[in-house]
């Protein structure tokens, strides 16, 4: 499923960027060598980053 239609970023592209250490949408874009266009995807990226942080925190307990 696409997260960013402007840049063709799929959920797996965002997830890989997060796994590589991205903590902000701009870092997700940088990891994928692109930049925000319309920014409609930023909220979804933030949600994915937050979910990843929460899952990591639970795993660390």
Please state the three-class secondary structure of 10-24 as a single string. Answer: EHHHHHHHHHCCCCC
Q: Which two tokens stand for residue 60?
A: 């660390």
Q: Which two tokens stand for residue 33?
A: 């060598």
Q: How far apart are CA 45 and CA 43, in angstroms?
A: 5
Q: Supply the pLDDT for residue 60.
A: 78
What range defines the domain where residue 11 resides?
2-60
**CATH code for position 28:** 1.10.10.1100
Q: Supply the pLDDT for residue 54.
A: 93
Running along the chain, 61 residues long, what does each successive block of 10 average in pLDDT? 97 98 98 96 98 88 75
Q: Supply the pLDDT for residue 11.
A: 98
Q: How far apart are CA 25 and CA 39, in angstroms?
A: 9
The DSSP H or E segment spanning 25 is helix 25-31
Number of domains in the chain: 1
> Could you tell me the pTM of the whole model?
0.91
Q: How far apart are CA 25 and CA 59, in angstroms?
A: 23
Q: Supply the pLDDT for residue 29.
A: 98
């Amino acid at each position: 499923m696409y997260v960013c239609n402007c840049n063709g970023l799929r959920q797996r592209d965002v997830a890989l960027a997060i796994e590589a250490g991205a903590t902000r949408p701009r870092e997700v874009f940088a990891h994928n060598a692109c930049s925000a266009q319309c920014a409609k995807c930023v909220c979804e990226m933030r949600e994915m980053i937050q979910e990843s942080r929460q899952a990591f925190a639970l795993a660390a307990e």
